[in-house]
Amino acid sequence: MTVTPPSSVLGDTPHPDDAHAGADVVRICQDLLRIDTTNPGDDSGPGERAAAEYVAARLAEAGIEALITESAPRRASVLARVPGTASGRPALLVHGHLDTVPFDAAEWSRHPLSGELHDGCLWGRGAVDMKGAVATTLALVRSWARTGRRPRRDLVLAFLADEETTGELGSRFVAARHRDHFADCAEAIGESGGFSVPIRPQPGADGAELRLYPIALGERGTAWMQLTATGPAGHGSRAAADNAVATLVHALSRLAAHPWPTRLIPPVEALLGELERILGTTIDRDRLEAEAARLGRAGDLFAPTVRNSANPTVLQAGHKINVMPGTARALVDGRFLPGTREEYLATVAELLGPRVTREFINLEDAATGDHTGPAFAAMAAALRAEDPAGHPVPYLMSGGTDAKTFSQLGIDCYGFAPLRLDATLHYQRMFHGVDERVPVAGLGFGLRVLDRFLRAY
């Protein structure tokens, strides 16, 4: 697929003409990594307030007025606006989140709150997900303030709390309480797109890498469920036809073993077509799991998004070996493709059976966008300008982000937080993983790509 970008897509000398920008993005990223914003999901964490105040202060230094808004004590988000040069065009939303998932410091090579610079990388929880991208956005708008440059469109900035759980205290809160802030936004960019995926050396290119840059057009829907089975409590030695644990385990087994059918929706089919062209291969649509394994990192981009899924993640029952519990509970992470929500929920209910009840912890529709329009073309052009050997491709995210909230406001959302990684760093595995880190050179790359895109589109 080749899409012609707008004539202005490259802009004029689209690099930050500011010697301080590279150092600024490193300093800001380090500072953010050293602020604990872990979000365990039960409001026991430190919250995002300290990080929100830091972000607002860095914006104020650039002459940008920012609003800190709290949904609950310490649960803070930051909203701001940067004027563009093209009057009358819809605004572009740039959103990111300030919270991170928890960590076990004993498992890490370097402390997750150190922000240590080692082997060319900044180490810490949130380096990839997604304080590095937040730092890139902040450094860029600060560079513009120093050089007098501006984006083409008005930029609406949102640095959010609570993305790592449901977004109830972050994106959902600001979308409801501060709806006017987003009223003129037509499109948005956020996390999980624009990162490099090294594939293999190109034939005849003296070992040069072939790199993919997936740009997310949407994401699967979310169905986080709490399942409950009940039965008579009693002594563990007695026969029990209604054992709550057994009832729940049988239901979970049916759910985990269910062969969800393959569905090729447009963004995934577009990705497969691009991979065939770029890699010079044919991908058999009838055996996609095997094809994903064959294609390695390229296959990782579509393997989770060709079908729905329901993965049991937590089991809770009983407190003593000889006491039969009256209640057993489980948590299930369910994901469904765009257009399959009702079918998915009905299938899950049938698999669980009448003796297991279901409550939704989080239920959000899937989102999907367009890969043939000018937004995707402009992002692809900005990436290719900085990496001529790179291949931007469309894809669908398997997980979820705050884009779901903003898509409900009628905003077309893309995953585009550009970052170049070397072949030793696997983007998806660093998400929520041990020894999360981001290369300093990759942050510089992201700064340049984002500058090209935002000043041109």
Catalytically active residues are: 99, 163
Secondary structure element (H or E) that encloses residue 277, with its range? helix 266-279
**Geometric angle at alpha carbon 294, from 290 and 300, rounded to 5°:** 85
- In our burial notation (b when 16+ CB lie closer than 10 A, e otherwise), range 75-109 reads bbbbbbebebeeeeeebbbbbbbbbbbebeeeebe
Gap between the Cα atoms of 190 and 216, Å rounded: 9
Encoded tokens for 196: 């490099």
Q: With H, G, I as helix, E, B as strand and everything else as coil, classify residue 40.
A: coil
In the chain, DSSP finds a helix count (H) and a strand count (E) of 13, 19
| β-bridge partners, 311 | 333
CA distances to 197, 199, 263, 290, 395 from 295, in Å: 12, 9, 19, 9, 15
| Cα-based distances in Å from 401 to 118, 177, 233, 387, 404 | 29, 19, 41, 27, 6
**Three-state SS at 201:** strand
Scanning 84-181, the segments in alpha helix (DSSP H) are 132-147, 171-177
The Cα–Cα gap between 198 and 400 comes to 24
* Element holding 322 (H helix, E strand): none
Compute CA distances 433 → 266, 421, 440, whole Å. 30, 16, 19
The CA distance from 325 to 243, in Å, is: 8
Q: Which residues contact 230 (CB under 8 A, 6 or more apart)?
A: 244, 326, 327, 328
Tell me the C-alpha to C-alpha distance, in Å, between residue 403 and each of 206, 262, 340. 40, 24, 19
What are the structure tokens assigned to 333, written together?
Answer: 């992470």
Question: In Å, how far are 168, 235, 452 from 58, measured between CA atoms?
Answer: 26, 62, 22
